[in-house]
């Protein structure tokens, strides 16, 4: 294979960018703010921009010391450049996530093309872009997309050094810079994925001389120069509170016991893998024996070390969420296309073929579930079927079935194409055409519309008790939304300023709210009813918006 066939040309990069945008952008501006994490990040970013304090991190009056400031800085830059700070447009906060996923896609293409050829680079990059879990993370404003970019960049540089220790200075510079950036995005999480792979390679090879090519004498200072200033500053500002909460409570707490009900037994990620890495899960499992048979190849060994140690560690950690293992997906994509474009002559034993057949049936069932998500989700939430979504679901399943059949009969590159078609259509259908239409689940946009319609003041104070989701705080404004402790407290808070206030009360707490309001001599009008389901906890909600009643003399003047 010549050097030319191992590189992606500028036209290839443009095609990859265009296809990735086509798959990953639909839904970015139409999906409302998602609860709870995304909206918490958006609120903290909004307050950071409003206050001009880019060191401390706050959600309303509370300290938010779970992650470093990196993602808030990136979102602040995006919001400032788009001029959307006053509009509270969530799509502006999501731009860094899209760019992070796009960077990971392109770097995956670079790695795979350098190892297995241009077509393999295309295939690996698009397996990441069309991956079901990645498609969601590209559309929400959290840390995980940018973390994926920094981890992929670290591995790109480390792999280059491992395969060829003598090389250009950009490789250790990229490695240490990416580590520093990752520390600013999600703290030491990047070290789990990178240092475990490095340790596994040293143990596997029983060689460590190549580590000198990392240039630690100037690399470590570069790493510290990127991450250390903010860590020192936040330690001073918080008087050590950041470290106690972010490391002691959040990070270390997740290891021994589950947090926020995000629990799962060992095997959790393995059980979800067919869906989370779909459609690439099929090609990776079929590549498993190829990878083991070619483990003496240095590049294959590196990719295995990228995947296995981190996967095992996350299976053992008590707190689990499907996207936690996403940083190993680029390596999985590279191995998947390697078995397609460089199959070799290794013959799998019978037991491997039987296992692959069983998994193929599971993957096809998962494909049916993915295909049904769009039309079934819309019917479940809104009570009607969309013929276009049904048609899209049929095409998705047929493309997935074609991918499986083509792989079985040996037409593996065409199988990859069919799988990518299924993945791309599924991601755009579910996230671009279905999620934005689930109005029953999107309570916040309807609440904000009702507040705007009945507020009567330039700035309306909204007091809410049962529905306390961060998306409402973000959309209505962190300084104009008051989260009451209970319905009686909501009445007390309302009484302090009735003229420009509205109260949002669920049917389950209406009696307590109205009783306390009556005791406070408040005369209230119910002006709007918003019904739906709070998807964060599964509760059905019937929310009434109250305002101070209009007196007869005021009504004549049209004043509340």
Structure token digits, residue 441: 């689940």
| Helix H or strand E segment including 446 | helix 443-454
pLDDT tens-place string over residues 402-450: 999 999 999 999 999 999 999 999 999 999 999 999 999 999 999 999 9
* pTM tops 0.85: yes
Question: Whole-angstrom Cα distance, residue 413 to residue 406?
Answer: 9
Range scoring the smallest mean pLDDT among 185-189, 211-215, 453-457: 453-457
Task: Give the angle subtended at the CA of 476 by the CAs of 261 and 429, to the nearest 5°.
Answer: 60
443-557 has which fold?
D-Maltodextrin-Binding Protein; domain 2 (3.40.190)
Alpha-carbon distances of 501 from 449, 461, 524, rounded to whole Å: 15, 5, 11
pLDDT at position 558: 42
Start and end residues for every CATH 3.40.190 domain found in the chain:
443-557
Instruction: DSSP letter for 9, please.
Output: -
Question: Whole-angstrom Cα distance, residue 160 to residue 7?
Answer: 15
Find residue 205's DSSP bridge partners: none
| Helix H or strand E segment including 479 | none
pLDDT tens-place string over residues 67-77: 999 999 999 99
Mean pLDDT, residues 366-381 taken together: 97
pLDDT at position 370: 98
Structure token digits, residue 113: 């093309």
pLDDT tens-place string over residues 233-279: 999 999 999 988 887 666 665 665 655 557 789 999 999 999 999 99
Query: What's the Rg (C-alpha) of the chain?
Result: 26
Mean pLDDT, residues 345-358 taken together: 89
**One-letter-per-residue 3-state SS of 316-348:** HCCECCHHHHHHHHHHHHHHHHHHHHCCCCCCC
Are 208 and 202 in contact by the 8 Å Cβ rule? The answer is yes
pLDDT at position 560: 42
The pLDDT-based confidence of 343 (bands split at 50, 70, 90) is confident
pLDDT at position 317: 93
Structure token digits, residue 39: 């909206």
pLDDT tens-place string over residues 32-74: 999 999 999 999 999 999 999 999 999 999 999 999 999 999 9
Q: Three-state DSSP class for 136?
A: helix
414: Cα separation from own chain's centroid: 30
Other CB atoms within 10 A of residue 510 CB: 17
pLDDT at position 205: 96
Question: Whole-angstrom Cα distance, residue 177 to residue 167?
Answer: 17
Alpha-carbon distances of 534 from 141, 323, 475, 529, rounded to whole Å: 20, 22, 16, 15
């Amino acid at each position: 294979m010549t050097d030319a066939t191992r590189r992606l040309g500028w036209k290839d990069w443009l095609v990859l960018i265009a296809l990735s945008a086509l798959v990953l952008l639909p839904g970015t501006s139409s999906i409302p703010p998602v609860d709870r994490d995304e909206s918490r990040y958006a609120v903290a970013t909004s307050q950071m921009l409003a206050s001009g304090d880019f060191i401390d991190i706050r959600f309303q009056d509370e300290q938010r010391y779970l992650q470093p400031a990196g993602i808030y800085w990136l979102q602040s830059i995006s919001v400032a450049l788009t001029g959307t700070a006053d509009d509270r447009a969530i799509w502006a906060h999501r731009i860094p996530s899209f760019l992070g996923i796009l960077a990971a896609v392109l770097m995956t293409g670079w790695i795979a093309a350098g190892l297995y050829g241009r077509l393999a680079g295309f295939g690996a990059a698009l397996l990441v872009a069309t991956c079901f879990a990645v498609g969601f993370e590209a559309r929400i404003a959290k840390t995980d997309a940018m973390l994926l970019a920094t981890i992929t960049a670290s591995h790109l540089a480390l792999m280059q050094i491992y395969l060829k220790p003598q090389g250009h200075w950009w490789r250790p510079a990229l490695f240490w810079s990416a580590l520093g950036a990752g520390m600013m995005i999600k703290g030491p999480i990047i070290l789990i994925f990178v240092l475990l792979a490095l340790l596994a390679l040293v143990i596997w090879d029983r060689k460590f001389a190549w580590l000198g090519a990392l240039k630690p004498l100037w690399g470590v200072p570069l790493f510290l120069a990127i991450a250390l200033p903010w860590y020192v500053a936040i330690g001073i500002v918080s008087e050590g509170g950041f470290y106690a909460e972010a490391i002691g409570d959040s990070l270390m707490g997740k290891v021994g016991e589950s947090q926020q009900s995000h629990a799962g037994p060992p095997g959790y990620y393995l059980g979800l893998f067919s869906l989370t890495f779909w459609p690439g899960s099929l090609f990776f499992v079929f590549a498993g024996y190829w990878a083991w048979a070619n483990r003496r190849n240095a590049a294959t060994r590196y990719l295995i070390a990228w995947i296995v140690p981190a996967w095992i560690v996350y299976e053992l950690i008590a707190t689990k969420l499907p996207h936690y293992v996403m940083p190993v997906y680029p390596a999985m994509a590279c191995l998947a296309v390697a078995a397609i474009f460089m199959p070799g002559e290794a013959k799998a034993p019978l037991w491997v073929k039987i296992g692959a057949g069983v998994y193929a049936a599971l993957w096809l069932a998962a494909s049916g579930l993915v295909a049904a998500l769009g039309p079934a989700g819309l019917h479940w939430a809104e009570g009607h079927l969309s013929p276009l979504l049904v048609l899209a679901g049929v095409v998705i399943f047929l493309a997935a079935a074609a991918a499986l059949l083509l792989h079985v009969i040996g037409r593996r590159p065409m199988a990859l194409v069919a799988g990518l078609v299924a993945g791309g259509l599924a991601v755009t259908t579910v996230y671009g055409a279905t999620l934005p239409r689930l109005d029953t689940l999107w309570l916040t946009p309807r609440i904000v519309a009702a507040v705007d319609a009945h507020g009567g003041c330039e700035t309306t104070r909204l007091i809410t008790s049962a529905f306390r989701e961060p998306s409402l705080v973000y959309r209505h404004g962190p300084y104009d939304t008051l989260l009451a402790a209970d319905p009686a407290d909501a009445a007390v808070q309302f009484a302090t300023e009735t003229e420009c206030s509205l109260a949002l009360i669920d049917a389950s707490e209406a009696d307590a709210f109205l009783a306390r309001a009556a005791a406070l001599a408040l005369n209230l009008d119910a002006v709007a009813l918003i019904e739906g389901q709070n998807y964060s906890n599964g509760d059905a909600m019937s929310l009434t918006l109250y305002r101070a009643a209009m007196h007869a003399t005021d009504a004549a003047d049209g004043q509340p």
